[in-house]
Structure 1
Amino acid sequence: METSTVNGEGLARRTARSVPAAARANGTGAEAPLRIAQVAPLYEAVPPGAYGGTERVVATLCDGLVAQGHDVTLFAPETSSTEARLEAFEKPLRERFDAHEMASVAPHLHLEMMAELAARAGDFDVIHSHLDLLALPFTRLIATPTVLTLHGRLDLDFVRQLLPRYGSVPLVSISDDQRRAVADLDLTWAATVHNGLDLQHYRDVPHDSDGYLGFVGRIAHEKGPLTAIEVSRRTGVPLRLAAKVDPTDVAYYQEEVAPQMGSHVRFVGEITEDEKPTFYACARATLFPSDWPEPFGLVMIESLAAGTPVIALRRGSVPEVIEDGVTGFICDDVDEMVEAVGRIDEIDPEACRRGAARFNAERMCQGYVDVYRSLLPGSAGGSPLPAPRQALGQQLSPSTGEN
């Protein structure tokens, strides 16, 4: 890994390694490698030590693209670890910022990073941002094709106000459902590319249910921890909460969640990547009671890879990830989730593992490479950009089949 550090005392500049022109435009008919800039949020290291969904996806994508032979530069926090070249900015913000600083200082630092990238845009064939809306203004300053993956929710008023101002910017959704909140807006959707992970270390752990229900994620209202506690109480099956409490959610945890924990609930806190496979594999089922339009939900594919079925509310991307009655149960309310706990033995652990195989790293990487090439001048099809408001369901990441 080659690293250059950038901090608040001055933005370091260095020239990205160039792929020789002969290799980029050879006459063999083989597609030439690309020079790709990946821009990650500064909140967590890439990959994160524990919680951090977007950062794990970016880490998987960078390593996968390098393995394919592409020249990848990752703009990310300085403690990141990657097979790509690392342009390091700041220390992970979650380690040192309180809630006020996250809202006031963090956006400025992200804009500072984008300004550095804009000055070097000519070093790359494609720029791929994972900063959601923060990167949008820079697309007007950068001649290099730039694509944004939207990792967050799109059903918020300020999102609906801002996105149409940049209607020609190529966007990638991480599920078809994510687009529904803005389906009436004139936007340019390049593709839906489902998130993917390297899940082999999950498959290597034998599935051996220890009889508890698992909950993995954040302690936040929209994630549904109170629903998980209720399901555990009504079924009599113990619950283990492997969850992180962000500074903004401390009051919610202390005032609403903690008082509901009885002897049937064990709060184990945030678990590391090394601890996750065993946690999932030893669970009777993983509860996914998110009560908001979750754009994807890595918890679901992690659980499936460990052979553990998922019991989820019918929200957001859940129907795109879980096959009802095969890899888990999709429920419309708490009563159905309680009933589903009694049906867990109907689910074959190997069917769960096969379901997870649909969301592997290779498919995600290939989906994004197809997007990158579609943006290059002279790309096949005659147009560097897809048509605005591309129909839901068009995916460059297949959603069926096995690796």
Structure 2
Amino acid sequence: MMPACCSTRTPPRSSRARSRASPPMRRCCSPCVARRWRARRNSPGGARRSSRWRASSAPPGVRSLMRFCMVTTFYPPYHLGGDAVYVQALARAVRRAGHEVEVVHCEDAFRLGGRVPASLPPEDDGIVVHRLRSAWGALSPLITQQTGRPGLKRRELEAILARDFDVIHFHNISLVGGPGVLSLGRARTKLYSLHEHWLLCPTHIFWKNRERACDRPTCFSCCLRSGVPPQLWRLGTLIARELENIDLLFAPSEFTAGRHRDAGISRPIEILPLFSRFDGVGVNTPVRAGRPRFLFVGRVTPPKGIRQLVDAFVRLPEYDLDVAGDGELRVALEHEFESARNIRFLGEVTATELPALYAAARATIVPSLAPETFGLVAVESFACSTPVLALEAGGCGEVVRASNAGVVCDDMDALVVAIHRLAREPRLAEEMGRRGRAAYETTYNETTHVRAYLDHVQTLIDAAARRTP
């Protein structure tokens, strides 16, 4: 007999899977879900039956149908930066490869500070999205931030992650469940992507006291000066214990992998570079002639070095700068530099508008002062045959050097020299752009990335199957 707590109905808003084709789903208490899941998987031949069903249901060319769940704090349109952009691109790519994909994220985390999501048309991309929204509002992510555990979201997360997933892939977990979420779920394999330095730094990005890149750890005072509530749980072993639930960590660059290994992260780490969400082919752009135009894409915040870049272009009136993105400095900078006619603040730009901006630029500039884990903007620029000028700040410089499709500079003075050089040598910029395009076609494209990703997944699942008696 079905327990009183279980019923078949359309789920409430807090955990509704937002999909046009979403049917009514069985909503149960977490113990009931877990009980049914264990009974199915632990029954004689249960895992083998599940495996045979997936193999027989797989589309042509797919070895076996797998079920993925991506767990992340932010997901479009409830997002701020590149991690959510990548999660959506990966989810869609895995879905196009013939697998089933669900995404869980915390809507309350995005709404902290009164943020309102961009108004985007609904997309029927075949992905089931669970947008967690608590009746307690902002209290839910704040409890997670202070305890390192799911808190008010635990019951919903348990119910979702107890389903029959083959892969649970954790991304930015800072406000959706903290390290405590890593122990939830019983998938055949669990993954974690190092989008930021959150495992090592409470500010996520090694940005000290809201004014400069971190030179040495003074985390408690830095949190106070940065407006981030100190997390006392970081003084214990919670992160190390919970990471034991993860089979493999993905780092987008050697820099990021090395930084985490040096900090004592002992779980296996593999390098998996990110990819451009668009291929840049057939972009209808104006000819790169006349006044050289340069491009900045990203959050308009101090760690991104945007103020220093704008200051530099005020002294370079012969060149144009487009600033695509939003953030805490945008309004102030627009007001302060409204008389600079060579600088345009475009605000938030959609993914459909970005390729034309990349392709029309002499170069894309990444002037980050805080160390980047990768530099997604760089590979998007490469896809559009546009070179990149970057400051020496983490993984982005690694990408530019590997492709030989731009210049990595030690400081802002050197960056200005590189701007002058590409402005005066358009053929050099075109050659660097061709190298960038070649790097995109061989390394930073969706097909290459998803193939490597699924190969890692299959290797882990095969290894787990060999260990199972």
Which of 361, 365, 370 in structure 1 is aligned with 2:446? Answer: 361
Q: Say whether the 8 Å CA contact 2:303–2:369 is kept in structure 1.
A: yes
Q: Which of 190, 200, 224 is equivalent to 1:146?
A: 190
From 79, 83, 108, the equivalent of 2:125 is 83
**Aligned to 1:311, what secondary structure does the other structure show?**
strand
Of 226, 232, 241 in structure 1, the residue corresponding to residue 323 of structure 2 is 241
- Cα separation, 1, equivalents of 2:82 and 2:362: 23
- 1:266 CA displacement: 1.9
* In structure 2, C-alpha distance between the alignment counterparts of 1:204 and 1:54, rounded to whole Å: 25
Q: Give 1:112 deviation, angstroms.
A: 5.3
Name the CA shift for 1:10/1:328 in 2 (closer, same or farther; >3 Å). Answer: closer
The answer as to whether partners of 1:235 and 1:341 remain within 8 angstroms in 2 is no
Q: What aligned pairs does 1:297-308 form with structure 2 within 5 A after superposition?
A: 297-308=375-386
Q: Indicate yes or no: 2:164 matched with 1:123.
A: yes
- CA gap of 1:331–1:125, structure 2 versus 1, over 3 A, is same
Paired with 1:285 and 1:85, the residues of 2 have a C-alpha distance of: 35
Deviation at 1:88, TM superposition (A): 3.0
- Residues of 2 paired with 1:197 and 1:118: CA distance? 33
CA distance 1:37–1:254, change in 2 (3 Å): closer
Equivalent in 1, 5, 8 of residue 14 of structure 2:
8
Please say if residues 391 and 397 of structure 2, whose CA atoms lie closer than 8 Å, have aligned partners that are also in contact: no
Percent sequence identity is 25
Work out the CA distance in 2 between the residues paired with 1:220 and 1:63.
29
Q: In structure 1, how many angstroms separate the alpha carbons of the residues matched to 2:251 and 2:81?
A: 18
Q: Deviations over 1:336-385 (max 9, x none)?
A: 111111222213232222222321112222232233223326448x679x
Structure 1 residue runs without a partner (length 5+): 92-96, 385-403
Alignment CA distance shift 1:9-1:138 (3 Å): closer
**Contact 1:132–1:148 (8 Å) recurs in 2:** no
Aligned length: 364
Q: CA RMSD in A?
A: 3.9
Alignment partner, residue 393 of structure 1: none
Aligned equivalent of 2:436: 352
- Give the Cα–Cα distance (whole angstroms) in 1 for the partners of residues 407 and 279 of structure 2: 24
CA contact (8 A) 1:77 1:89 kept: yes
Contact 1:60 1:198 in 2 (8 A): yes
In the aligned structure 2, how far is the partner of 1:297 from the partner of 1:119?
Answer: 35
The 8 Å contact of residues 403 and 436 in structure 2, kept in 1 or not, is answered as: no
Q: CA deviation at 1:71?
A: 2.2
- Distance in 1 separating the partners of 2:124 and 2:407: 36
How do 1:4-403 and structure 2 match up within 5 A?
6-8=12-14, 13=26, 21-24=51-54, 31-42=63-74, 44-45=76-77, 52-76=81-105, 81=123, 83-90=125-132, 104=142, 115-120=155-160, 121-133=162-174, 134-144=177-187, 145-154=189-198, 155-156=200-201, 157=219, 163-168=239-244, 169-170=246-247, 171-184=249-262, 185-201=264-280, 204-206=283-285, 208-209=287-288, 211-236=292-317, 237-245=319-327, 249=328, 252-253=329-330, 258-260=335-337, 262-263=339-340, 264-323=342-401, 326-344=404-422, 345=426, 346-347=428-429, 348=431, 349-357=433-441, 358-376=443-461, 378-379=463-464
SS in 1 for 2:294: strand
Counterpart amino acid of residue 36 in structure 1 = F
What's the counterpart of residue 392 of structure 1? Answer: none
Q: Greater relative contact order: 1 or 2 (C-alpha under 8 angstroms, separation 6 or more)?
A: 1
Distance across 1 between alignment mates of 2:139 and 2:361: 37
Alpha-carbon distance change, 34 to 203 in structure 1, aligned in 2, over 3 angstroms = same
Which ranges in structure 2 are unaligned for 5 or more consecutive residues? 1-9, 18-24, 28-32, 38-46, 108-119, 202-218, 220-230
Instruction: Provide the secondary structure at the position in 2 that maps to 1:279.
Output: helix
Cα drift, residue 176 of structure 1: 2.0
Please state whether the residue corresponding to 1:38 is helix, strand or coil.
strand
Distance in 2 separating the partners of 1:32 and 1:182: 33
Aligned 8 A contact 1:202 1:277 in 2: no
* Aligned residue number for residue 204 of structure 2: none
CA contact (8 A) 1:290 1:315 kept: yes
